[in-house]
Amino acid sequence: MPIKNMPQPELIILTDDIRLKKPNETEWNKGIEWYGDRDIMYYSEGKTDETYMQSDITRMYSYLSKAGELYFIEVMADNVWHAIGDVTLSEENFPIVIGDKRYWGKGIGTLVIGKLVERAREIGIMRIYVPEIYNYNERSKRLFTAFGFVKVAENDRASSYELYL
């Protein structure tokens, strides 16, 4: 379902070698590589004892693609585009995962969030809510607060953030 009745673009170019691509259902299986990694699950889902199976990936991407604009984060390497993570722009959630750890700390998350905050403004979103960032996930907290997201709630395991546009 398009956000604010605006069609989702197939591609959003961030740099010459980084882009966001709207995945089709046949590409969703790429997520198993990321969500099959315990480190990824710890930071994104707060789980240390399990990883996602393909059915979990399908259920998650099905929900995210209906709740907002689901994109795969892709990088150009060896003249081929490679999916390295995912992000969803939604008014009620803004999950981002850099699933290929070789790309952690390279500023890709900053590029992605910056571009999608810009898109949110363009399509008339007034507020973006991030329901849960785990207290130990310092990178995500820094990423979102750098764009002006403010903490609006917290408990012993996580905090919620929002940004008014």
CATH for 3-124?
A: 3.40.630.30
Its pTM stands at 0.93
- Spell out the alpha helix ranges (H) of 36-164: 38-45, 54-67, 108-122, 138-146
pLDDT tens for each residue of the chain, 165 residues long: 445 567 899 999 999 999 999 999 999 999 999 998 999 999 998 877 888 989 999 999 999 999 999 999 999 999 999 999 999 999 999 999 999 999 999 999 999 999 999 999 999 999 999 999 999 999 999 999 999 999 999 999 999 999 999
**Per-position b or e across 48-58, b if 16+ CB within 10 A of its CB:** eeeebeeebbb
What integer pLDDT is reported at residue 2 of this predicted model?
A: 44
Domain residue limits, the chain: 3-124
H-run or E-run covering 128: strand 127-134
What integer pLDDT is reported at residue 6 of this predicted model?
A: 74
Do residues 8 and 14 touch, judged by C-beta distance below 8 A? Answer: no
pLDDT in tens, 110-158: 999 999 999 999 999 999 999 999 999 999 999 999 999 999 999 999 9
**Angle in degrees, CA 82, 20, 86, rounded to 5:** 75
